[in-house]
Structure 1
Amino acid sequence: MAVMATMKDFAALKGLRRDLQEQEKARALALAERARQEAAIREEANLFRNSIGQIAPLRSKAIDKALHLPDAPLPIPRQHLADEQAALLESLSDEFTIDTLMDSDENLSFARPGVGMDVLSKLRRGNWVIQAQLDLHGYRRDQAREALGEFLRQSRRRGLRCVRVIHGKGLGSVNKEPVLKHKVRNWLAQKDEVMAFCQARAADGGAGALVVLLKSSERA
């Protein structure tokens, strides 16, 4: 019985030795595979460094950063607008009087020299269609002068020929005097684009309005 036990113990030791050898062999293979992978990684890293050459880290100083400023807004032509405004005010003088011009009459009609009386007669009869109007009720003198100049300029640009200017009868003014009524006549006579004007017919405003005939423009 002792002999049989000894043989079994020997067989067990032999099997244990075989297992240890297998484990050592597997460990060696794992180490070899790990070494091969590390070598491959080092080789790829060397290839990358050799391909890009020498490099330097980016500096982070604020002076090296590009500044993207927003586009500046377009300049407002303030001086040009001021010049236009000044020219508009200067072109209509309060010192001017229509009484010094020819071809005016007691009916508040006016025709520039060279304009036939037939033109003025047609204007009085309402042969031209009124295409636009400006109502100056409630305007002070300076406001009315500026508004009239702008109205005539815009009408000219639009190619209009016949317009109406409502100045009122002056019933609400001091001493019931139609100051604005006379001013409008004098201002109109100073504008080169005005060919003629006359008091409106009763249906178109009567003594409180003027019908104005403008020169034809290229647009018209």
Structure 2
Amino acid sequence: MTRRKLSAEEAALWRKVTERTEALEQRQTFDPAAFAPQPKPKRADPPKPDFGKLATTFPPKPEPRKNSFNLTPSLPDRLRNAPVQMDQKTFGKMKRGKMKPEGRIDLHGMTLDRAHNALTRFVLSAQGSGKRLVLVITGKGKNRDEGGPIPVRHGVLRHQVPQWLSAPPLASAVMQVSEAHISHGGGGAYYVYLRRQR
């Protein structure tokens, strides 16, 4: 590659530039060592454990976690674990199906509103006529959950009847509610033992 000669204008411009420049002193020149990366300082080694102390001192045991959720037991479990309000001998006979119900109501196929009204009338009239043990048939219920976003309870009446019996106005008439013996309908029916009317 051959160098080309500067034109008159370029030569004049170069002279102006060189007239204004000042020579650098030797110490002001670029020193690449000043910009070299500095070595990282070494970290201090962690203190070595004293195994004699470790053998005798342990951290305190953490407290066991207390679960904040409360799983509601199933309906048969709740009825089974409910305190017995009536005579134990009579309760045993009732649970084994040895007592014959004095009245019965079948709530199959009713809507919740109709069933609640019918149950209320039946229980209060049974207590008024002096009956002690009645049978409430709810059925076990059909699985109607079509997989939608809101789950549908299996056996709505079966789950609702014990709640109605434990709430006013029926709570004052009912002494004990228990799942019926298999001979009277099993899981699809309830024995309702009534208080004597005063």
- Cα RMSD over matched residues? 2.7
| Distance in 1 (alpha carbons) for counterparts of 2:191 and 2:84 | 18
Mapped contact 1:111–1:120 kept (Cα < 8 A): no
Aligned to 1:216: 196
| Distance in 2 (alpha carbons) for counterparts of 1:149 and 1:143 | 10
Mapped contact 1:107–1:199 kept (Cα < 8 A): no
**AA paired with 2:186?**
G
Residue correspondences, number: 117
- Gaps of at least 5 residues in structure 2 are 1-71, 146-151
Aligned to 2:156: 179
**1:54-74 deviations in Å (ceiling 9; x for gaps):** xxxxxxxxxxxxxxxxxxxxx
CA separation of 1:105/1:115 partners in 2, compared to 1, >3 Å: closer, same or farther?
farther
Aligned to 2:60: none
Aligned to 1:12: none
| Distance in 1 (alpha carbons) for counterparts of 2:76 and 2:142 | 23
Aligned to 2:174: 194
Partner SS for 2:104: strand
Aligned to 1:140: 111
Residues 1:161 and 2:132 aligned together: yes
Aligned to 1:204: 184
TM-score of the superposed pair, with normalisation by structure 1: 0.46
Aligned to 1:14: none
Mapped contact 1:123–1:197 kept (Cα < 8 A): no
**AA paired with 1:199?**
E
**AA paired with 1:122?**
K
**AA paired with 2:188?**
G
Partner SS for 1:129: coil
Output aligned runs, 1:89-128, within 5 Å.
Answer: 106=77, 108-109=79-80, 114-128=85-99
What displacement does 1:120 show?
Answer: 3.1
Aligned to 1:11: none
| Distance in 1 (alpha carbons) for counterparts of 2:79 and 2:85 | 18
- Gaps of at least 5 residues in structure 1 are 1-98
Greater share of helix: 1
TM-score of the superposed pair, with normalisation by structure 2: 0.51
| Distance in 2 (alpha carbons) for counterparts of 1:111 and 1:160 | 22
| Distance in 2 (alpha carbons) for counterparts of 1:114 and 1:206 | 21
What displacement does 1:189 show?
Answer: 1.6
**AA paired with 2:101?**
I
CA separation of 1:105/1:173 partners in 2, compared to 1, >3 Å: closer, same or farther?
closer
